[in-house]
């Protein structure tokens, strides 16, 4: 049971907050809520809403937490969930994920042909700016009420701004209810660093590893601010033109020493890594790795985004991720949407010789020598086998299945409500700090790790029962780029990682299936490293300018 229920916000405050939210940049200068509403009650509602925008797409009616989506104009309201939109932008455009659905511009993301009319990018931009509006609304109404809550809301706003900047470069900016102005990417980066360093981190709660038994599980603390700073510093050269590897390393070390813990022990036949993505990940030791978990509960916090999306979109009804329940599919018995699966290049990160077995997901890790290789390559229909190749985008069996995200619990049971997920979505987790430390260390050391960076990668690989190297040995940047994929595939980090390594847009000859709309993969122009500002936003706010190349 999740003890921090984000679905308890005040309905009156929520309805006022969401009134008229059909546009995006206009929401940043929306009118404040009525002062006649009970202040304490509405403050709590607005505070919870700032978290809830990560968990659900809308106000929620009946069994559907996405109903009444904040982002209007889409028949599939669950599609407008923040994590789902972020995931599509940062995974489908890369060497990790491919999707057979073509609606709302997903097909353009898969082959890197998106433009300023892409509906998925329009929804993503809207979702992020609406999240900023929710935070600005709380800060305007209750910013002086509680220093810790204010710091948390400022962090959540900074997270939205960091995602907006990473995706769209030059963005609308306002930290109040005034009309937004245009900030360049470098200006946005500088503001974020200052905001997190001076206004967020000092007033956050002290870092503490938590499980759902703790009353503050689901709320962020200083470790989240440190990890976002480490992430920003790691990408500083992309964002501002000036590298900050020492700072990235410094803040990664802060996170690693914060008291959060890598989950290193499996349970009841499930690996320690698999436990991070299961239905009871908030209740087991896996929770102590979650620095920012988005709470999901099939009883009370239901969404067609977050973990349900990750679970349902990666399965068809012929797959079964539990060796203990061959009929159980993924732990959500009514959720097997058959959309997203692995690109060939992701699977080959675990099988560099190309000798990939055609076996179920629970047998695959033993063949890979790595417990993170949770792929489905088995078919009991010889006339319709699962293939490693992605020759036909629309065919779900063209590509190995990904069984990383499941709703089985470690005791073998499934969700209370079979249509929704109990698994929390770990939006930020400790392992990221280990890889930030290793990469920053390598970039400061001639593009290879010192003993410090080698140990950080070894710690990650040891958890997966994968091979390691002597600390006197090193990992190259090529090794580290691949390690990012092995540890964090399908978690929404890949596009940013490839750009940082110079492997996304431009003449880099790092190719994958369907890159640049070519089956074999081909280079595409570097202007695609930044998404276009949706044309509707340019029309709504004259302060904005389209990004170069669109």
DSSP secondary structure string, 387-448?
BS----TT-TTBS-EE-S-----TTS---SSTTS----EEEEETHHHHHHHHHHHHHTTTTB
Residues 6+ apart with CB under 8 A from 15: 59
Q: Residue 415 has what pLDDT?
A: 65
The model's pLDDT over 276-331, given as tens digits with 9 standing for 90+, comes to 999 999 999 999 999 999 999 888 888 888 999 999 999 999 999 999 888 889 98
Residue 26 has pLDDT above 50, yes or no: no
Q: Residue 529 has what pLDDT?
A: 98
Residue 16 has pLDDT above 60, yes or no: no
Answer with the residue of higher pLDDT: 361 or 71.
361
Residue 106 has pLDDT above 80, yes or no: yes
- pLDDT band, residue 333 (cuts 50/70/90): low
* Cα Dmax for the chain: 68
Answer with the residue of higher pLDDT: 362 or 7.
362
Q: Residue 325 has what pLDDT?
A: 87
**Rounded CA gap, 378 and 396, in Å?**
13
- Distances from the Cα of 118 to the Cα of 103, 133, 246, 306, 547, angstroms: 10, 23, 38, 22, 14
Residue 224 has pLDDT above 80, yes or no: yes
CB 24 within 8 A of CB 125: yes
Which range is least confidently modeled, 45-49, 148-152, 373-377, 469-473? 45-49
Report, as an integer, the average pLDDT of 257-267: 97
**426 φ/ψ angles, rounded to the nearest 5 degrees:** -80, 90
Q: Residue 8 has what pLDDT?
A: 34
Helix (H) or strand (E) holding 132: helix 119-142
Report, as an integer, the average pLDDT of 335-350: 96
Report, as an integer, the average pLDDT of 412-437: 90
Q: Residue 382 has what pLDDT?
A: 80
Residues 6+ apart with CB under 8 A from 282: 2, 211, 212, 217, 290, 293, 295, 424
pTM of the model: 0.93
Residue 140 has pLDDT above 90, yes or no: yes
Answer with the residue of higher pLDDT: 13 or 171.
171
For residue 37, the SS3 value is coil
Residue 53 has pLDDT above 80, yes or no: yes
Q: Residue 186 has what pLDDT?
A: 98
**At which residue do the structure tokens 């404040």 appear?**
32
Structure tokens at 417: 């409500």
* Average pLDDT across the chain, whole number: 90
Q: Residue 380 has what pLDDT?
A: 84
**Rounded CA gap, 347 and 399, in Å?**
9
Report, as an integer, the average pLDDT of 439-465: 98
**Rounded CA gap, 80 and 70, in Å?**
8
- pLDDT band, residue 62 (cuts 50/70/90): low
């Amino acid at each position: 049971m999740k003890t921090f229920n984000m679905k308890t916000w005040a309905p009156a405050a929520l309805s006022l907050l969401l009134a008229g939210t059909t546009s995006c940049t206009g929401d940043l200068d929306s009118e404040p809520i009525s002062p006649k509403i009970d202040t304490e009650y509405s403050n709590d509602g607005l505070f919870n809403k700032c978290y809830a925008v990560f968990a659900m797409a809308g106000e929620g009616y009946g069994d559907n937490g996405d109903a009444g989506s904040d982002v209007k104009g889409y028949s599939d309201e669950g599609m407008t969930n923040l994590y789902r939109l972020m995931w599509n932008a940062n995974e489908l455009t890369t060497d990790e994920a491919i999707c057979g659905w073509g609606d709302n511009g997903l097909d353009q993301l898969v082959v890197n042909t998106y433009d300023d009319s892409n509906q998925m990018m329009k929804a993503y931009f809207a979702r992020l700016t609406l999240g900023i509006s929710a935070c600005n609304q709380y800060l305007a109404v209750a910013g002086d009420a509680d220093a810790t809550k204010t710091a948390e809301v400022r962090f959540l706003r900074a997270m939205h701004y960091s995602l907006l900047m990473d995706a769209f470069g030059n963005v609308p900016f306002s930290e109040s209810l005034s009309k937004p102005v245009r900030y360049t990417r470098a200006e946005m980066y500088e503001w974020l660093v200052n905001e997190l360093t001076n206004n967020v981190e000092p007033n956050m709660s002290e870092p503490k590893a938590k499980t759902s038994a703790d009353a503050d599980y689901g709320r962020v603390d200083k470790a989240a601010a440190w990890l976002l700073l480490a992430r920003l510093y790691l990408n500083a050269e992309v964002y501002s033109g000036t590298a900050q590897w020492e700072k990235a390393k410094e803040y990664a070390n802060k996170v690693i020493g914060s008291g959060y813990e890598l989950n290193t022990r499996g349970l009841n036949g499930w690996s320690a890594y698999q436990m991070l993505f299961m239905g009871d990940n908030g209740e087991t030791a896996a929770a102590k790795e979650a620095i920012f978990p988005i709470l999901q509960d099939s009883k009370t916090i239901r969404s067609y985004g977050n973990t349900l999306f990750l679970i349902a979109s990666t399965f068809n009804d012929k797959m079964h991720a539990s060796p203990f329940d061959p009929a159980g599919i993924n732990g959500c018995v009514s959720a097997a949407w058959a959309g997203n699966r692995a690109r060939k290049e992701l699977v080959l990160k675990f099988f560099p010789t190309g000798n990939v077995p055609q076996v179920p997901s629970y047998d695959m890790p033993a063949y890979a020598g790595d417990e993170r290789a949770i792929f489905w390559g088995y078919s009991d229909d010889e006339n319709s086998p699962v293939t490693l190749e992605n020759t036909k985008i629309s065919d779900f069996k063209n590509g190995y299945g990904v069984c990383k995200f499941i709703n089985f619990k470690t005791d073998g049971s499934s969700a209370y409500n079979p249509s929704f997920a109990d698994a929390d979505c770990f939006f930020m987790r400790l392992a990221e700090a280990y890889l930030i430390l290793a990469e920053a260390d390598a970039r400061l050391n001639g593009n290879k790790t010192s003993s410090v960076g080698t140990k950080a990668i070894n710690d990650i690989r040891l958890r997966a029962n994968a091979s390691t190297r002597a600390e006197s040995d090193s990992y190259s940047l090529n090794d580290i780029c691949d390690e990012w994929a092995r540890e964090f595939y399908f978690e929404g980090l890949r596009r940013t990682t490839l750009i940082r390594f110079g492997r996304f847009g431009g003449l880099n000859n790092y190719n994958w299936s369907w890159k640049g709309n070519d089956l074999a993969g081909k280079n595409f122009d570097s202007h695609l490293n930044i998404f276009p500002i949706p044309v509707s936003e340019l029309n709504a706010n004259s302060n904005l300018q389209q990004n170069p190349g669109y």
